[in-house]
Chain A
Amino acid sequence: MSGDVRSAAESHGPLVLEAIGIHKDFRLGSGLRSPVLSAVRDVSFGLYRSGVVALVGESGSGKSTVARLLSGQERMTRGEIRLDGKTVHLQHRRQFRAYKHEVQMIFQDPFASLNPVHTVRYHLERPLRLHHVAKGRAAIASELVRVISEVQLTPPEQFLAKYPHELSGGQRQRVAIARALAARPRVLLADEPISMLDVSIRLEILRLLDDLRQELDLAILYITHDIASARYFADETLVMYAGDIVERGPSEEVTQHPAHPYTQLLVASAPDPDALGTSLRTGSKVVAGQAGSAISGVVGCRFSPRCPFAEERCRREAPVPVAIDEQRAAACWRLDVAAPLLVRDGAGTGDPSRRGKGAP
């Protein structure tokens, strides 16, 4: 999505990591003519010091691929990553290592991301050595205590000696976070960090991430399918559908007054305890359909087959991001119908001068 809106996360601090039109195609099959799946399509956003940006979407929307591109686990088809304004070339080994020193990742499943045959000490020592954070036995020992105390696993000595199977899910995820912090990064890419954890522990881990963000001035990318947690945790929320960012804006506004029809569907589908059975029983039907397809050759808006507002144009032409206000934008041709209250006053579709140029 074009950069003509200001990120809601920028109030916390300066831009650290920037993705500019990052794009990833996967070829399905080996032949030259085999179809191409564009998992991420020209996505742009920024991560700011002490700010949290949430990337929300269903499985298959490309949100994890974004994290894999940003962490260098996957090579981009095109696009640019900038760290402190400088373009990063991840294919260069030296640059890659320097980059990984600054940008670390936390994975979804703390049961799979820790090696069962090694102790917590081993998991935390490795990044310390690899990134030359500490040299010498004494320095490493004190660093170990520092990182494990940061994630509030006390007493440190006791936890360092443990194996992953001796820890609860929440404790494992704390170890995974500590491992990411060991390199003293400035950016944390968190791919569904709480979705595998017990309900009563999720809040604690989010709280921990938020404390760390404040103490260490971390820029965090929070990837989730749970838009409600984005509301509580993130400054800015980006909604992704079939490889595109379809809406972006301050979390509270995106969740409370969604503009894009897909965001509206997402919000309407979340369980509503206050409804107490009524909404399911009265048969308020949501738009049925498959998850968004990202296979190339689809023209027009990828949400149009499921969209209640879709018209001819939506199936023909891919929508261009439209600024709704200074911090919000949505990629939809029919915002005037889908979210009439948001785009009144000449903002949005009514004013062609505010649109981006050409197809994304």
Chain B
Amino acid sequence: MRRAKESEHKAEGPSVAASVIPTPTSDALSPVLDIRGLSISYRALDGDVHAVEGVDLAFPRGGIVGLAGESGSGKSTLAYGAVRLLRPPAVITAGSVTYRGRRVGLEGVSVLDQTHAQLRSLRWREIAIVFQSAMNALNPVLRVEDQLFDVIEAHLPMSGDERRERAGSLLDFVGIDRGRLRSYPHELSGGMRQRVMIAMALAVDPEIVIMDEPTTALDVVVQREILSQIVELKERLGFSILFITHDLSLLLEIADRIAVMYAGRLVEEGSAKEIHYQPAHPYTRGLLNSFPSLRGPRRELAGIPGSPPDLRNLPPGCPFVPRCAFATDACKHIDMRLAPVGGSKDPSHVSACPFVLPDAPAPQDAETVRSPR
């Protein structure tokens, strides 16, 4: 299996730049990854935790999709589940995931039906991941070059010199001096380690890069450098990004489309512009109002009261009801299906709340968390 895969890749050159994926226009519109009705549960003695429930999400080629949500909202479970990285007790209970990369043909592969051997060639080669904590994701006792070689060796047949050259050009890509190939992870700063992680994710030209809070542990200044580097690399190499973060203000800036998750369900999805200027779902509106803004006049913040629900026994209907200022009895009977937002010009802007429109004012007596001062 490995051998067949390798000969297939023989044609590709050693340097990263030479093997840039051409961007065909014909299939530009078909999503590169298509998640349909995906449900994932964690089995536990005292009942299943429904971490992801009936999620539909499509990734346009070459775009950046942002996935926002609090810890425990299921955003990482969704992403890892879609590429089959979860281990028991996590179980995928329903749904389909179709991957349509250029190297696998237009009809695509059903990720959930792949054997382990097939998955091995899919992972990293097609879908790579930048993990949240670079310190824990890198092996502390191996030099940076050895870790990069490992990735390259597993997927591309190359001579030692070619490998070394490719590893060097990968570091060039992310703006790290080649001399650092011989460094151990502890000799690098947090920002550099995160860059090495990005270089490693790009090592064998994946089509999709999943970035799980790639900059959360970093300072704002370094965060900004890395983000602009990610955007630049994406434009140059043409991969697609799934960007997972709890920082909605960051997503608004970097993502093309944003999906907001709450209690394992998508509650709203739309272009970054729509989410920013026309947020529909009360949870999205609450999140947007929770951030102290640095720019512009001081505005009155109105946070979300209460805390996220227990996923083991969710009440029927909308899980946000206990924290929602707009909630009525009717909310306990809705089915959380995403539907186009009424009054929005963009039909791809969908929300799980059928009642609240973007311009609806919050009820006067609503319980919110005011800003300090």
Interface residues of chain A, those whose CB is within 8 Å of chain B, are 58-59, 168-171, 198-204, 206-207, 209-210, 225-229, 231-233, 252, 255, 265-277, 279-281, 283-286, 288, 290-291
Interchain CB contact under 8 A, B307 and A271: no
In the complex, which residues 254-305 of chain B have their Cβ closer than 8 Å to any Cβ of chain A?
Answer: 254-256, 272-273, 276, 286-287, 290-296, 298, 301, 303-305
The yes or no answer to B136 lying at the interface (CB within 8 A) is no
Contacts of B256 in A (CB 8 A): 277
**A280 to B72 CA separation, bound complex (whole angstroms):** 29
Interchain CB contact under 8 A, B298 and A199: no
With CB as the reference atom, state the residue of chain A lying closest to B302.
A203
Contacts of B301 in A (CB 8 A): 203, 232
Most buried by A among B220, B235, B293, B370: B220
Chain B interface, number of residues (Cβ within 8 angstroms): 53
Contacts of B354 in A (CB 8 A): none
With CB as the reference atom, state the residue of chain A lying closest to B275.
A273
**Chain A nearest Cβ from B304, distance in angstroms:** 4
Given contacts A168-B308, A232-B301, whether A270 and B220 have CB atoms under 8 Å apart is yes
The yes or no answer to B223 lying at the interface (CB within 8 A) is yes
**Chain B nearest Cβ from A46, distance in angstroms:** 20
Contacts of A229 in B (CB 8 A): 292
Interface pick from B48-56, B99-107, B146-154, B225-233? B225-233
Interchain CB contact under 8 A, B287 and A199: yes
Interchain CB contact under 8 A, B303 and A204: yes
The yes or no answer to B224 lying at the interface (CB within 8 A) is yes
Contact pick for B231, options A198, A227, A280, CB 8 Å: A280
Given contacts A272-B253, A276-B273, whether A201 and B307 have CB atoms under 8 Å apart is yes
Given contacts A204-B303, A283-B232, whether A232 and B253 have CB atoms under 8 Å apart is no
Interchain CB contact under 8 A, A288 and B225: yes
The yes or no answer to B71 lying at the interface (CB within 8 A) is yes
**A228 to B292 CA separation, bound complex (whole angstroms):** 6
Contacts of A288 in B (CB 8 A): 175, 225
**A283 to B369 CA separation, bound complex (whole angstroms):** 37
Contact pick for B189, options A226, A267, A269, A291, CB 8 Å: A291
5 interchain residue pairs of minimum CB distance:
A203-B303, A210-B372, A273-B252, A58-B219, A228-B294
With CB as the reference atom, state the residue of chain B lying closest to A211.
B372
The yes or no answer to B314 lying at the interface (CB within 8 A) is no
Interchain CB contact under 8 A, A198 and B70: yes
A sample of 9 cross-chain residue pairs with beta-carbon separation below 8 angstroms, ordered by A number, consists of: A59-B219, A198-B70, A198-B71, A200-B308, A203-B303, A207-B369, A265-B221, A266-B221, A286-B225
Contact pick for B253, options A168, A252, A271, CB 8 Å: A271
With CB as the reference atom, state the residue of chain A lying closest to B71.
A198
Interchain CB contact under 8 A, B294 and A202: no
Contacts of A170 in B (CB 8 A): 307
Interchain CB contact under 8 A, A207 and B298: no
**A277 to B243 CA separation, bound complex (whole angstroms):** 14
The yes or no answer to B371 lying at the interface (CB within 8 A) is yes
Interchain CB contact under 8 A, B252 and A204: no
Interchain CB contact under 8 A, A272 and B295: yes
Interchain CB contact under 8 A, B224 and A232: no
In the complex, which residues 240-257 of chain B have their Cβ closer than 8 Å to any Cβ of chain A?
Answer: 246-250, 252-256
With CB as the reference atom, state the residue of chain A lying closest to B72.
A198
**A283 to B228 CA separation, bound complex (whole angstroms):** 7
Interchain CB contact under 8 A, A210 and B373: yes
**A275 to B250 CA separation, bound complex (whole angstroms):** 10
Interchain CB contact under 8 A, B372 and A232: yes
The yes or no answer to B190 lying at the interface (CB within 8 A) is yes
**A277 to B254 CA separation, bound complex (whole angstroms):** 5
Interchain CB contact under 8 A, B372 and A207: yes
Interchain CB contact under 8 A, B70 and A269: no
The yes or no answer to B222 lying at the interface (CB within 8 A) is yes
**Chain A nearest Cβ from B226, distance in angstroms:** 10
Interchain CB contact under 8 A, A203 and B307: no
Contacts of A252 in B (CB 8 A): 298
Interchain CB contact under 8 A, A267 and B369: no
**A198 to B261 CA separation, bound complex (whole angstroms):** 13
**Chain A nearest Cβ from B219, distance in angstroms:** 4
Most buried by B among A170, A272, A275: A272
Known: A203-B371, A266-B220; 4 extra A-B contacts, CB below 8 A, are: A201-B307, A232-B298, A255-B294, A281-B235
With CB as the reference atom, state the residue of chain A lying closest to B305.
A204
Interchain CB contact under 8 A, A228 and B248: no
Contacts of B295 in A (CB 8 A): 270, 272, 274
Interchain CB contact under 8 A, B221 and A207: no
Interchain CB contact under 8 A, A207 and B254: no
Contacts of A209 in B (CB 8 A): 372
Contacts of A207 in B (CB 8 A): 303, 369-372
With CB as the reference atom, state the residue of chain B lying closest to A233.
B372
Contact pick for A199, options B224, B248, B252, CB 8 Å: B248
Contacts of B222 in A (CB 8 A): 58, 291
**A283 to B294 CA separation, bound complex (whole angstroms):** 21
Contacts of B223 in A (CB 8 A): 269
With CB as the reference atom, state the residue of chain B lying closest to A283.
B228
**A334 to B250 CA separation, bound complex (whole angstroms):** 32
Contacts of B305 in A (CB 8 A): 204
**A207 to B224 CA separation, bound complex (whole angstroms):** 28
Interchain CB contact under 8 A, B246 and A267: no
Contact pick for B293, options A228, A285, A291, CB 8 Å: A228
**A96 to B146 CA separation, bound complex (whole angstroms):** 51
**Chain B nearest Cβ from A40, distance in angstroms:** 18
**A291 to B253 CA separation, bound complex (whole angstroms):** 24
Interchain CB contact under 8 A, A199 and B253: no
With CB as the reference atom, state the residue of chain B lying closest to A168.
B307
With CB as the reference atom, state the residue of chain B lying closest to A198.
B70
